């Protein structure tokens, strides 16, 4: 049977892409994934943090804010996505302060973020250390904190519930799913076949005719490749570059017992009385999880961390890297041992760390969450669907219309993102 659309990858980006295609066009749609169920790749390993537009690149700002507004409205309509608007707090040293504050000024004007000077931070979070000027801090590369950007409408959601929402809607719309099925090859054919066994030749116009998988072949008019960190495995053999590479990221979770309970007794930021999700750009983060009273910690390492798929969480990474930095900023972390840990892979756009969505032939590639793909997924899905439908424009949630080439590679005009955690 021939499909109108085959989506390779049933992670959050594949699900949103298929959802918007199905809503706008209908047709016969198949989603294929190597995992046993929806969103069990890197989406399942996500922290689920979302930011109400809190990015330095305008494009990231737009696609995150529209996506988050959609998620909030889904939850407000009665479908629990586990949304907790605990806020995002970005701690900034002197060097970063002016630059970062200038780039997100429009959020202050819109009232979706505000600035907190160091004195206010110290008053609200009694146990935070901001004067990071001693010898040990210097050795660790930490600098005194001048202030913070606080985004009160940001927070985290339950990625499993979010994926379930799209999955259930897709099932209702009659979309087919095939799990435990690995796509092995995107097979090219000539648009105008001449019947030669070695075609397509270099001079022939080409299209993807079908995908070969561990469960047979699937033919379609259009394909969306939403394989996240694995995208290049299918694109390399046919000579297409998405500029996406995988890099391991790790999360360590500790029970909020003893001194750590203080993270759940911070007033003035949110209605839960917790510390917001707190980050140092290119540094460590700590996330108090309200429902299970645990804190999640991590750090995105850069040079020295090899590109490649790797799902092995390393205790030693916590003790050597995450712990020394966080303990300096939050001395109450002293002695904290993780009860669990996991690793996943960011699909990183190595040029500007914004997502990519482009069309080549009858193939649409949508990926490059760069560590924030969940919070941009609805808009990315709308753009991928518009490309798959051959439309010049995509309408994001709330009515903003963007060119469907907004996240394309050729002619791309996207500022590099600074707020990557």
Ligand X SMILES: Cc1cc2nc3c(=O)[nH]c(=O)nc-3n(C[C@H](O)[C@H](O)[C@H](O)COP(=O)(O)OP(=O)(O)OC[C@H]3O[C@@H](n4cnc5c(N)ncnc54)[C@H](O)[C@@H]3O)c2cc1C
Virtual CA dihedral for 121, 124, 125, 130, nearest 10 degrees? 20
Closer CB to ligand X, residue 66 or residue 367?
A: 367
154 binds ligand X (CB under 6 A): no
210: contact with ligand X by CB under 6 A: no
Q: Does 276 bind ligand X (CB under 6 A)?
A: no
Of 121, 226, 266, 363, the one binding ligand X (CB under 6 A) is: 226
**Rounded to the nearest whole angstrom, what is the least distance from the CB of residue 67 to ligand X in the complex?**
9
Position among 374, 394, 396, 414 found at the interface with ligand X (CB under 6 A): 374
Task: Name the residue nearer to ligand X (CB basis): 118 or 420.
Answer: 420
Among 58, 122, 182, 305, binds ligand X (CB under 6 A): 182
Q: Which of 6, 13, 74, 419 binds ligand X (CB under 6 A)?
A: 13
CB nearer to ligand X: pick between 35 and 362: 35
Binding ligand X (rule: CB under 6 A), the pick from 6, 11, 207, 384 is 11
User: Using CB under 6 A, which of 33, 310, 352, 378 touches ligand X?
Assistant: 33
Stretch that binds ligand X, among 29-37, 94-102, 323-331, 390-398 (CB under 6 A): 29-37
Among residues 53, 147, 152, 373, the one that binds ligand X under rule CB under 6 A: 373
- For ligand X, which residue of 49, 152, 246, 276 counts as binding (CB under 6 A)? 49
CB of 123 to ligand X, least distance (A): 28
| Cα–Cα separations (whole angstroms), residue 337 to 72, 83, 226, 251 | 34, 27, 36, 13
* Residue placing its CB nearer to ligand X in the complex, 41 or 147: 41
- Interface region with ligand X, contact rule CB under 6 A, candidates 28-36, 187-195, 316-324, 329-337: 28-36
- Among residues 24, 35, 187, 362, the one that binds ligand X under rule CB under 6 A: 35
Contact 63, 380 (CB under 8 A): yes
- For residues 285-311, one letter each, b for 16 or more C-beta atoms within 10 angstroms of the residue's C-beta and e for the rest, the string is bbbbbbeeebbbbbbbeeeeeeeeebe
Our CB check for ligand X shows the closer of 102 and 316 to be: 316
State yes or no: cis peptide before 258, omega within 30 of 0.
Answer: no
Single out the residue of 3, 7, 10, 56 in contact with ligand X (rule: CB under 6 A). Answer: 10
Q: Between β-strands 216-225 and 2-8, what pairing exists: parallel, antiparallel or unpaired?
A: parallel
Contact 165, 79 (CB under 8 A): yes
Q: Does 369 bind ligand X (CB under 6 A)?
A: yes
Q: Is 364 exposed, middle or buried (0-12, 13-18, 19+ CB in 10 A)?
A: buried
**How is residue 372 written in tokens?**
């924030």
The verdict on 230 binding ligand X (CB under 6 A) reads: yes
User: Of 3, 7, 19, 42, which lies in the binding site for ligand X, with binding defined by CB under 6 A?
Assistant: 42
Nearest-angstrom CA–CA distance, 204 and 190 = 6
Alpha-carbon gap, residue 343 to 313, rounded angstroms: 5
Considering the rule CB under 6 A, would residue 336 count as an interface residue with ligand X? no
Cα–Cα nearest to 223, from 232, 235, 210: 210
Q: How far is CA 239 from CA 118, 221, 235, 250, 299, in A?
A: 51, 20, 6, 31, 33
In the complex, the smallest distance separating the C-beta of residue 142 from ligand X, rounded to whole angstroms, is 23
Q: What are phi and psi of 47, to 5 degrees?
A: -80, -20
- Among the residue ranges 31-39, 53-61, 122-130, 399-407, the one whose residues contact ligand X (CB under 6 A): 31-39
Q: Are 223 and 210 in contact (CB under 8 A)?
A: no
Select from 74, 148, 251, 266 the one that contacts ligand X (CB under 6 A): 251
Q: Which residues bind ligand X (CB under 6 A)?
A: 8-14, 32-35, 39-43, 45-49, 182-183, 226-230, 234, 249, 251, 344-347, 367, 369, 371-375
């Amino acid at each position: 049977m021939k499909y109108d659309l085959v989506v390779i990858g049933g992670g959050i980006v594949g699900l949103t892409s298929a959802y918007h295609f199905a809503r706008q066009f209908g047709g016969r749609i198949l989603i294929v994934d190597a995992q046993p169920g929806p969103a069990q790749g890197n989406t399942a390993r996500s922290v689920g943090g979302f930011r109400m537009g809190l990015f330095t690149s305008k494009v990231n700002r737009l696609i995150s804010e529209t996506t988050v507004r959609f998620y909030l409205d889904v939850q407000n309509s009665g479908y629990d996505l586990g949304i907790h608007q605990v806020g995002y707090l970005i701690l900034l040293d002197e060097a970063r302060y002016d630059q970062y504050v200038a780039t997100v000024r429009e959020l202050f004007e819109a009232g979706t973020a505000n600035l907190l000077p160091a004195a206010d931070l110290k008053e609200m979070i009694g146990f935070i250390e901001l004067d990071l000027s001693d010898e040990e801090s210097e050795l660790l590369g930490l600098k005194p904190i001048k202030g913070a950007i606080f985004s009160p409408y940001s927070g985290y959601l339950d990625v499993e519930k979010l994926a379930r929402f799209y999955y259930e809607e897709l099932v209702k719309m009659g979309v087919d799913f095939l799990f435990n099925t690995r796509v092995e090859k995107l097979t090219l054919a000539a648009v105008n076949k001449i019947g030669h066994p070695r075609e397509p030749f270099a001079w022939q116009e080409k299209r993807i005719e079908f995908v070969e998988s561990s469960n047979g072949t699937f033919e379609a008019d259009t394909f969306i490749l939403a394989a996240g960190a694995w995208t290049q495995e299918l694109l390399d053999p046919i000579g297409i570059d998405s500029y996406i590479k995988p890099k391991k990221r790790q999360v360590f979770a500790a029970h909020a017992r003893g001194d750590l309970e203080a993270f759940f007794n911070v007033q003035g930021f949110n209605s839960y009385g917790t510390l917001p999700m707190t980050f140092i750009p290119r540094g460590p983060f700590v996330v108090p999880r309200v429902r299970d009273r645990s804190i999640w910690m991590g750090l995105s390492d850069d040079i020295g961390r090899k590109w490649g798929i790797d799902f092995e969480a390393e205790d030693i990474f916590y003790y050597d890297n995450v712990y020394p930095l966080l303990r300096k900023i939050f001395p109450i972390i002293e002695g904290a041992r993780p009860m669990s840990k996991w690793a996943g892979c960011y699909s990183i756009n190595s040029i500007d760390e914004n997502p990519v969505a482009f069309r080549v032939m009858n193939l649409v590639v949508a990926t490059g969450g760069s560590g924030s793909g969940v919070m941009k997924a609805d808009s990315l899905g709308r753009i991928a669907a518009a490309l798959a439908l051959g439309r010049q424009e995509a309408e994001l949630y709330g009515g903003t219309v963007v060119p469907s080439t907004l996240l394309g590679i050729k002619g791309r005009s996207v500022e590099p993102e600074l707020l990557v955690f």
